[in-house]
Structure 1
Amino acid sequence: MRGEVALRDRGFRAAGWRYVPLKDVGTWLSGGTPSTSNDAYWGGDIPWISGASMKSFRITDSDRKLTDIGAKNGSRLVSKGTTLFVVRGMSLKSEFRVGVTERTVAFGQDCKAIIPAEGIDPEFLARAVQSRTSEILTLVEETSHGTGRLDTARLQELEIPVPSLDEQHRIVAAHAAFERRIGALERMLGKLRVAEEALSAEALAPRFGWEYATVEDIADVAAGVTLGAEPLGEGTVELPYLRVANVLDGRIDTADVKRVRIVRSQLERFALRKGDLLLTEGGDLDKLGRGAVWDGRIEPCLHQNHVFRVRCGSRMDPDFLALYTASPKGRAYFQRVGKQTTNLASINSTQVKAMRVPVPPLEAQRRNLEPVRAVRVRMRAVERQIAKLRTIQQGVVEDLLAGRVRLAAA
């Protein structure tokens, strides 16, 4: 592993830049946790940052806070402009959390801090460390408790490029320009989400003459393929299927689709059709019955038994039914009838079938859906813009941080 990291470090070198091992970029500090049984240490105004609470690059707050005396007894205080990163915890098995403090904070033993040396911009340092995420994750070891751990000595061997302070500032400014544009789009997306919520409520607001029926009256409800012992030999076929992880709130994610083998004669029974509403059977109580309408992007495609397939008849538009199941009333129904166990909650097909839903005339359903669909089209367009900018930002900033692209002074 050490040789692999060393080979990576002997890659491209920008002319005129220093290359400094992390151990020499600033002062390293370890954190700690004051006694949780001493009430005098907790409930103050100083955010206490842990591996679990570090969820954004700009570190400003935490759900747990220390008093002044608590910060001086078992923890460590750092000021604004300090790089913090996680060195122990479950999150290290899939991601490397790093950020820069925006105010004075305390931090726990699951994190390390670097106070940047003179001549190194605080945000540049944090971004430079962040840019080494792929290599850093290869250094993560698993502890006996199953959590991830980064060995500080090995981490300190990694080098980062350090240009002049002026060029650091230009790189940080370039990153900030992307963030401002992305931030503006995210604010626009937030407004569109508020509009979607209002339009959805309006679309479902009861009108005179609307009928109500159970889902069983207006749709066919079925579970999917039960995973386990799969059939073999002639007369079988292996096909993609959707599992609970693919069925999200309002959309279907097909980035990672598994395959299952079934008897060919069962294909008609389990195959999805465009327009089928998919609802999840289990999960957290507040996520019961989450789902979306299948758009037929994979053909043929099956669904597993923990995902209900709701196939609407001639009286119901599947998008209107999806709007209702995702509404506060729909959520409340699933939470009321869901069976709660220690780790999760679940619903069964009988409960899905028994759900009472509004059944306006089909023409009224589609008319009410039009403004909702229109705002969703705008939302998807903004989401695509954000994703595209994020991709461009990542590539540009990585090139800038590596020195492959240089910014001239203004």
Structure 2
Amino acid sequence: MSEGMGGLPEGWVWARLGDLGEWFGGGTPSKKEPDYWEGGDVPWLSPKDMKSERLADVQDRITERAVNESSVRMVPRNSVAIVVRSGVLEHSVPVASVPFATTLNQDMKAVVAYSGVLPEWIAWALRRYERKILGECRKAGTTVASLSTPALMDMRVPVPPFAEQHRIVEALEEQLSRLDAAEAQLSSVIRRSAGLEKKWLNILAVGRSMRRSGTEDLDSLEESKTGRFDEGNLIELPHGWKWRRASAVCEQIVSGSTPKAHLMSPGSGDVPFLKVYNISQGGFVDFSVDPTFVGVETHEGLLKRSRVLPGDVLTNIVGPPLGKTAMVPDVYPEWNINQAIVSFRAGPDLTPRWLTLVLSSPYILGMLKRTSKATAGQFNIAVSTCRDLPIPCPPIDEQEKLNEAAEQWLTLSENVRGAVANSRIRATELRTALLGRAFVGGLVPQDPADEPAATLLARIAAEREAAKPVRKAAKRAARPRKATAAAVATKAAPAPTPAPATSVQQELFDQ
């Protein structure tokens, strides 16, 4: 690959995005006009539709009247759409190919490529230079993140010969389709792993793994448990197990409280103060997230009731989400919790690890969630309900065996998640590398017989110039010459009427 101007291969050029196609903006027809919206069949594309690289449809439609009477314009099929105003622009730039004609809302732009430029090339260029767009085109100081249209139009991207655009796009999409398929498989692994983890937690929590093969589907257990905690609704446990109220097998069950802001210190202090976001979805306490502390006096005085110790089991009772569960670690000798968390302290008939397993199982947690009350968009579980919660209690030695089985299974699940996370990182790196190679001419070989891109863009520019309407120059009125003294005198004394030349004229003249 020989390099031409600007480090590009021979036949390539840098070009402004604004010179590669016709750009369209959008608008929103008045919501006060029902005739603009009701029964409409014209697609109206907005940022919420930008969920894939190639769109199949949009959520909203408008009427032909809205197109004719409002600021929206029809964008021809096979355009490339980009979000130019949205909070998502804080971290990414959604881009999608649009195979159908559409209109746009005011937060979108779309480009229809000129003849000789593939729309797919523009789409991949926008994705390839996403970081550059965010760095150079994003407006500063706006309430909602947005892109500057002039800056976007002026941004330069490499353009290869038209034939090479075809070869690169074909090779790029073939490779990326394989990568997409691999990522889909990774997502499937995660879903299956999560489903199996929930199933095994259910099986372990009700003791079925000790009596049966463990292959039965326990989803029906949740469906069969309705209403409050009535003994008649509880499933039968294995021999030697008992259902017992949490208040009977726990030394204490308390919720926390939140002191005034001036009593809490971010970053460092005496006693760590846990909030809901410190309970990880993975089942552990993550105190690296916005750590907050309270003083010893506050901990032992105002917040004395909500003191927790290592080994206590925490579950959040305000959500969504509800029921994140974790055991308090021994990093600090004592902790404190806010009002959205309830703490269970295991008594002599329970091990803390068993109590954690039970409160993490979908079956037990499902019973608790069904008692929640919705208030102002939040779900709340009463502490009294937590105290009334039935807990399956096997003998201590059996709890230990089940704890070990759960530990092995959860470790395996964690290893699977870690492997998938690493594979996803690698997939992202491969995607970036493929796009990088494609836009420096390293993905497919060049063909010297291809028409250079400079010639192509010059022809596009000439065609655009020729298509412009010819403006007729306005005729300028002759500027009056400076009047002479003779002309002024002539104007002041007009020439006498000529004498009549015929008898008829003479007669009229005499009158």
Q: Which residue of 2 aligns with 1:247?
A: 279
2:45 equivalent to 1:49: yes
Give the match for residue 393 of structure 2.
359
The verdict on how the C-alpha distance between 1:299 and 1:96 changes in structure 2, with shifts beyond 3 A counting, is farther
Q: Specify which of 113, 118, 121 is matched with residue 116 of structure 1.
A: 113
* Alignment partner, residue 282 of structure 1: 318
Matches within 5 A, 1:153-232: 153-163=150-160, 164-165=164-165, 166-203=167-204, 204=206, 206=235, 207-209=237-239, 210-219=241-250, 220-222=252-254, 223=256, 226=259, 228-230=261-263
Higher mean C-alpha deviation, range 18-27 or range 330-339: 330-339
Q: Cα 1:78–1:371, aligned 2, differ >3 Å: closer, same or farther?
A: farther
Opposite residue 262 of structure 2, the aligned amino acid is A
2:420 corresponds to which of 383, 398, 409: 383
Mapped partners of 2:30, 2:200: distance in 1: 50
What is residue 442 of structure 2 aligned with on the other side? 406
State the alpha-carbon separation in 2 of the partners of residues 241 and 218 from structure 1.
Answer: 26
Q: How far off is 1:321 after superposition?
A: 4.2
For 1:19, what is the secondary structure of its paired residue? strand
* 1:370, distance to aligned residue in structure 2 (A): 7.0
Q: Contact 2:271/2:295 (CA < 8 Å) preserved in 1?
A: no
Greater C-alpha Rg: 2
Aligned pairs for 1:49-128 (under 5 A) are 49-62=45-58, 64-66=59-61, 69=64, 72=67, 75=72, 78=75, 81-101=78-98, 105-128=102-125
- Distance in 1 between the 2:272 and 2:132 partners? 33
**In the TM superposition, what is the alpha-carbon distance from 1:251 to its structure 2 partner?**
4.5
One-letter amino acid of the counterpart of residue 150, structure 1: L
Q: Are the structure 2 counterparts of residues 299 and 313 from structure 1 closer, same or farther at C-alpha, using a change threshold of 3 Å?
A: same
AA aligned to 1:147 is V
Once residues 258 and 277 of structure 1 are traced to their aligned partners in structure 2, the CA distance between those partners, rounded to angstroms, is 21
* 2:290 is equivalent to residue 258 of structure 1: yes
Q: What residue identity is the alignment partner of 2:85?
A: R
In the other structure, the counterpart of 1:293 is 326
Give the secondary structure class of the aligned counterpart of 2:291.
strand
| Equivalent residue, structure 1, for 2:508 | none
Given the two structures, how large is their TM-score scaled by the length of structure 1?
0.73
Q: Secondary structure at the match of 2:51?
A: coil
Which residue identity is paired with 1:112?
K
Residue 159 (structure 1) shift: 2.2
- Return the match for 1:30 from 25, 48, 63: 25
1:334 maps to what in 2? 369
**Residue 127 of structure 2: which of 127, 130, 133 is its match?**
130
Amino acid corresponding to residue 173 of structure 1 in structure 2: E
**Aligned to 2:48, what secondary structure does the other structure show?**
coil
Asked if the contact 2:21–2:114 (Cα under 8 Å) also holds between the matched residues in 1, the reply is yes
How far off is 1:23 after superposition?
A: 1.5
Offset of 1:192 from its aligned partner?
3.2
**Does the C-alpha gap of structure 1 residues 103 and 396 become closer, same or farther in structure 2, counting only changes over 3 Å?**
same
Greater alpha carbon shift after TM alignment, 249-258 vs 148-157? 249-258
Q: CA 1:187–1:108 in 2, change beyond 3 Å: closer, same or farther?
A: same
Could you tell me how far 1:340 is from its partner in structure 2? 0.9
Q: 1:311 to 1:106 in 2, by over 3 A?
A: farther
Using the alignment, how far apart are the partners of 1:297 and 1:104 within structure 2? 61
Alignment root-mean-square deviation, CA: 4.3
Identical positions, percent? 20
Using the alignment, how far apart are the partners of 1:187 and 1:330 within structure 2?
A: 25
In the TM superposition, what is the alpha-carbon distance from 1:94 to its structure 2 partner?
4.7
Deviation at 1:182, TM superposition (A): 1.3
Amino acid at match of 1:50: S
Q: Distance in 1 between matches of 2:410 and 2:341?
A: 25
Letter in 1 for 2:106: Q
- The 8 Å contact of residues 71 and 106 in structure 1, kept in 2 or not, is answered as no
Aligned-residue offset at 1:87: 1.7
Counterpart residue identity of residue 365, structure 2: G
Taking structure 1 as reference, are residues 256 and 263 closer, same or farther at Cα in structure 2, changes over 3 Å only?
Answer: closer
- Structure richer in strand, relative to its length: 1
> Which deviations, in whole Å up to 9, do the C-alpha atoms of 1:214-243 show, x marking residues without a partner?
3344444453774621478xxx83677653
After TM superposition, give the deviation of residue 384 of structure 1 in Å.
2.2
Which of 123-132 and 177-186 deviates more? 123-132
> What is the number of equivalent residue pairs in this alignment?
387
Gapped runs of 5+ residues in structure 2?
A: 1-5, 207-220, 222-234, 447-511
TM-score for both structures, normalised by structure 2 = 0.61
Structure 1 spans left out of the alignment, 5+ residues? 1-11
Q: Secondary structure at the match of 1:357?
A: strand
Matched, 1:21 2:16: yes
Q: 1:87-129: per-residue Cα shift (whole Å, max 9, x none)?
A: 2233334543333336555432221112234444444432321
Distance 1:301 1:97 in 2: 47
Q: Which amino acid aligns with 1:356?
A: P
CA distance in 2, matches of 1:248, 1:132: 35
Q: Contact 1:83–1:101 (CA<8 Å) still a contact in 2?
A: yes
- Decide whether the 8 Å contact of 2:26 with 2:108 is kept in 1: yes
Please, which moves more after superposition, 295-304 or 164-173?
295-304
| Alignment check: 8 A CA contact 2:44 2:103 kept | yes
| Higher deviation after alignment, 191-200 or 159-168 | 191-200
| Matched-pair contact (CA < 8 Å) for 1:316–1:359 | no
Shift of 1:319: 6.3
1:65 counterpart letter in structure 2: D
Say if 1:293 and 1:319, in contact at 8 Å, map to a contact too. Answer: no
